[in-house]
Amino acid sequence: MWGRSRVGLGLQLLVIVIIMAIFIIGNSIHVSQGPQPTLEEDSPAGFAYNGTPTTAIAGWYCIRSINSSNGYSIQLDAFLNNTVWVQDMYINSPNGQTSFYAVVWPAVPGPTPHKFVPATAATCAWLVTALVNGTAYLGYSLDGRSITWYYTYPTNATYILPGPTTELVLAGYVNGTQAQLGNGTLVYFALYYWNGTNWEPAPIVISEGELFIEPVNHAYAYTNNTCSGIVSWPNPVNETTCPTPPSFKPPNSWG
């Protein structure tokens, strides 16, 4: 009887060990299939809006450190439902001059309306694009409370569409230049969309960067797919920070 009991106990322990091994391996496989940092090369590095059509988006960035020998830009790009494309940007030129910069790309080839607004270094800020009665409002906020609408343009559009051309990215300086990122680049991003009454964390995915002309030479991008992401070099970073929703509102949205 004692011998049989020891054999039975041994089999039970073996079964338990096998079950635990399967559980551990299964969990390891699950973790490895989660979001992973993505290496972006010769394209902007950042995040595309993956939500529903909206009338306003607000992109937050915070530059912890950046090392670029050829300038850079932070771009909030919005593709509208009539194929007009607008860009709200913070730019840092190769000589260190900083500005906010708005550009409108019409649906048909022609002049591209734009406006520069010189500004002191804004290492953390919000870029905001809103549509009101067919007019695009482009603005920025340094504190998440007050906002400066520095450019408006009649686009005749009604919605900002999700997809690969509605994005928040780290890119090169204007006119097609490439940002040459060196060691020590770390920039946090977050994207919110307007649900009609409030700002909501936006679903995002890593940018494909195929339709933009200001690339970075290389960078890692990571997102948890809701609201926040991070761009870094030379090491991938898989942490994110989603700030409190801003308290400013799109034009004509005050209750």
Q: pLDDT tens for residues 183-223?
A: 999 999 999 999 999 999 999 999 986 556 799 999 999 99
* Residue 138 within a domain: yes
Q: Half-sphere exposure (CA, 13 Å, Cβ side) for 23? A: 6
Peptide bond into 234 cis (omega under 30): yes
**5 & 68 share domain:** no
**81 & 66 share domain:** yes
DSSP string, 142-198: SSSSS-EEEEEEE-----EEPSTTSEEEEEPPSTTPPB-B-S-EEEEEEEEEE-SSS
* Residue 247 within a domain: no
Q: Half-sphere exposure (CA, 13 Å, Cβ side) for 165? A: 14
pTM for the full predicted model: 0.85
* Residue 238 within a domain: no
**89 & 2 share domain:** no
For the stretch 144-187, pLDDT in tens is: 999 999 999 999 999 999 999 999 999 999 888 999 999 999 99
What is the structure's pLDDT at 210? Answer: 57
Q: In CATH, what number is assigned to the domain containing residue 159?
A: 2.60.120
What is the structure's pLDDT at 253? Answer: 66
Cα distance between residue 50 and residue 204, in whole Å: 5
Cα distance between residue 99 and residue 122, in whole Å: 9
Residue 81 has pLDDT above 60, yes or no: yes
Q: What is the residue range of 20's domain? A: 1-34
Burial of residue 180 (CB within 10 Å: 0-12, 13-18, 19+) is middle
What is the structure's pLDDT at 212? Answer: 61
What is the structure's pLDDT at 15? Answer: 38
**192 & 103 share domain:** yes
Average pLDDT score, the chain? 86
**30 & 136 share domain:** no
b/e burial code for range 81-110 (CB count within 10 A of at least 16 → b) = eeebbbbbbbbbeeeeebbbbbbbbeeeee
Cα distance between residue 51 and residue 154, in whole Å: 24
Quick check: 147 and 125 in contact, CB under 8 A?
no
Q: Quote the number of domains for the chain.
A: 2
Amino acid found at 55: T
Phi, psi of 112 (to 5 degrees): -110, 100
**2 & 120 share domain:** no
**91 & 212 share domain:** yes
* Residue 56 within a domain: yes
- Residue 162 has which token pair? 């999700």
Q: State mean pLDDT over 120-143.
A: 96
Quick check: 220 and 39 in contact, CB under 8 A?
yes
**96 & 7 share domain:** no
Cα distance between residue 35 and residue 191, in whole Å: 18
**26 & 94 share domain:** no
